[in-house]
Chains A and B, each alone.
Chain A
């Protein structure tokens, strides 16, 4: 085709497809609200939209569909605008429909793809396509089969996944073997058996499709386990993959840290199910690809942080790892935080006039200070130049009522695990205290220290949970204990605002206390004592140790005013944190 003819063909196609948009929406419902697709006349343009490989794609975060018309022409499917557009709309309103369900879908599929979790988006896309196309072909009477036939004319493959997939449609739509263009050289009874199970799965879970996701993944697992087979499958499916990155650019999605019990219950291999139904009890139980990863953290109810980050990166490749890690510990800490101060209980009388501020129409009429208002202007316009008097408390309660800030120092030395790779109790405890304090309106300074070696701390006392969490969830793995000289930074001088001090460490702290700061020549014991005085709040040393060890040193600390809280296992750290938060940051209406 010469250039002019190509251009004309493109224009015709564009018009045809634009005209079909309304009809495609009608297929699902007259109430579908979706913006018109981004039409790309050239594949280069489509690429800029993030579309490569296929002729269409969807984005859940901005509810868009992108169509590459150049590729539509190439693949010979320009006569099927309604089919293809309705398919893309199906991703938006049926499956995966939104960012949250997309996330749950991927998370469930991952549980059934042991060691090949990276293939979850591929499996999710195939699953969603099956559900949508079966609905469109059988319930909406669109010619989805014809679209497959057209595309498959462009080339075939020896991929078993592809044969299995096309065979599944043949089962669903009662078509002859090979009707969609996938004609294997040798008939494989296993593909027939699996496709038959897949077809019945698609029919059974058309409504509750999230519940069938694990089963579908389990069915596909043996086909994808070998790299070579997976690569082969990707090659032939490239043209169909329109929703693998549907979640890209979406924000944080809550609720994925906790292990999805319903999802776990769906890790079932339909093959096993079928065999068991026939009373064949020795057919084994577990799905072949079941991930054997236990829960971590409180009551072992949470994903491993590494797995959580992997999952989220798969949902949204652009997600920021640090943000994810912060969110991981934040979500686990949430049930242990003090409740939000719903009402600011302040029974003290406000009797000291402190000045005036403008009175608004919505304020009670009797609050208007007429004298002050008149002083300001002889003409009174309520709501414009009216003022009211404001009062302050007549007792200086800054010390008694305002929650104290908190300094949290965490030992992050050699043998402490990386909180990014394994759930960390010390980090959770610190998160509970830190977030509770922030909720109560206090400021927080966090410090990780593994010394001698390195440390990391917030820039003073902060009010931002992101800043605090980012420090607390980091990892050093150096030295042997929390570095006592770190206390010099906030408490070298008497603190302006009083502060609690919490240090989480173990026995090795006594070795550290026995040392002398090389530059200042000051004993760490002295620093420790001075810090507490300067902080002015409660000092607590959370010690992973036994009460009968280091008795003398502990006595010395207690004399300085330090509280020593012993923990013998890591879970007790959480108990301490919840208790501490409750004591210092919970809103009590009775005082």
Chain B
């Protein structure tokens, strides 16, 4: 068991090194890949494990810089001793770093995962859920609700909806004001 705050402080202390993102060069092992493999071995609990036993690295070239740095921040998170020697979590972590962060990357800048309180919490909770861990002191239901409340994708969807309806109302009201100023406010047939 681990509580959110412990991981929160750990994440906050993410070293600048994890924000570096040298351009990908053919023939050179990408910075992200180095960090990933290092982290996976730590989680695996066995530093001598072969690459083949680690999750297959997807082609990092398909990711943009923000996504790559976000993944590196993830590497820092999973470096916390709590995750060490938990080989069964590797698949979940792999899913988090690739699929989840890819979906979130357009909405969140990598640094926000560390600097913005709500985003940091979202990052940690999402990561824990992928590992099947419920934070200490919370029930499964509570944990799910907290994560939902911070869910960036969901919030974005809601905002798109409300924004569309506000735009529409503003348009109607503008039209109404315009019409009232205009002669069309009294087309014939009105008593």
Binding site for B on A (CB under 8 A): 171, 174, 176-177, 189-190, 192-194, 196, 199-200, 203, 222, 269, 271-272, 274-275, 277-280, 283-284, 286, 288, 292
Contacts and interface: CB of A to CB of B under 8 A. Distances in A.
Given A200-B118, A288-B170, A177 B107 contact: no
Given A171-B149, A275-B163, A288-B170, A199 B118 contact: yes
B162 A200 contact: no
B156 A275 contact: yes
B158 interface: yes
A283 B163 CA distance: 7
B106 to A, nearest CB: 5
A203 B9 CA distance: 18
A270 to B, nearest CB: 9
Tell me what chain A mostly uses at the interface: helix, strand, loop, or mixed.
helix
A222 B166 contact: yes
A274 B106 CA distance: 11
A533 B77 CA distance: 92
B19 to A, nearest CB: 19
Interface of B: 106-107, 116-118, 121, 142, 145-146, 148-150, 154-156, 158-163, 166-167, 169-170, 174
B123 to A, nearest CB: 14
Nearest to B151: A192
B105 to A, nearest CB: 10
A290 to B, nearest CB: 8
23 contacts: A171-B118, A177-B145, A190-B161, A190-B162, A192-B148, A193-B155, A193-B158, A193-B159, A196-B118, A196-B150, A196-B155, A222-B166, A272-B163, A274-B155, A275-B156, A275-B159, A278-B106, A278-B107, A278-B156, A286-B170, A288-B167, A288-B170, A292-B174
A189 B170 contact: no
A192 B158 contact: yes
- A171, A174, A222, A280: which has the most chain B beta carbons within 10 Å? A174
Contacts of B160: 275, 280, 283
Nearest to A289: B170
A281 to B, nearest CB: 12
A507 to B, nearest CB: 29
Contacts of B116: 200
Contact of A274 (B156, B166, B167): B156
Contacts of B146: 176
A194 B163 CA distance: 11
A200 B116 CA distance: 8
B18 to A, nearest CB: 23
A135 to B, nearest CB: 15
A335 B117 CA distance: 48
Contacts of B145: 176-177
Contact of B167 (A189, A277, A279, A284): A284
Mostly, the B contact residues are helix
B117 to A, nearest CB: 7
B155 A279 contact: no
Query: Which residue among B142, B150, B160 has the maximum number of chain A CB atoms within 10 Å of its CB?
Result: B160
A278 B170 CA distance: 22
Which 5 A/B pairs are nearest by Cβ-Cβ distance?
A: A288-B166, A193-B158, A284-B167, A193-B155, A278-B107
A271 B169 contact: no
Nearest to A280: B160
A280 B107 CA distance: 10
Contacts of B149: 171, 177, 192, 196
B106 A189 contact: no
A422 B116 CA distance: 46
B157 to A, nearest CB: 8
A200 B155 CA distance: 13
Given A283-B160, A284-B167, 12 more contacts: A192-B149, A192-B158, A193-B155, A194-B162, A196-B149, A196-B150, A203-B117, A222-B166, A284-B163, A286-B170, A288-B166, A288-B167
Nearest to B122: A196
Contacts of A192: 148-149, 155, 158
Given A174-B121, A192-B155, A196-B155, A277 B107 contact: yes
Contacts of B158: 189-190, 192-193
Q: Which of B142, B156, B161 has the most CB of A within 10 A?
A: B156
Contacts of B155: 192-193, 196, 274
Contacts of A280: 160
A448 to B, nearest CB: 30
Contacts of B106: 278-279
Contacts of B142: 176
A279 B174 CA distance: 26
Nearest to B109: A277
A169 to B, nearest CB: 13
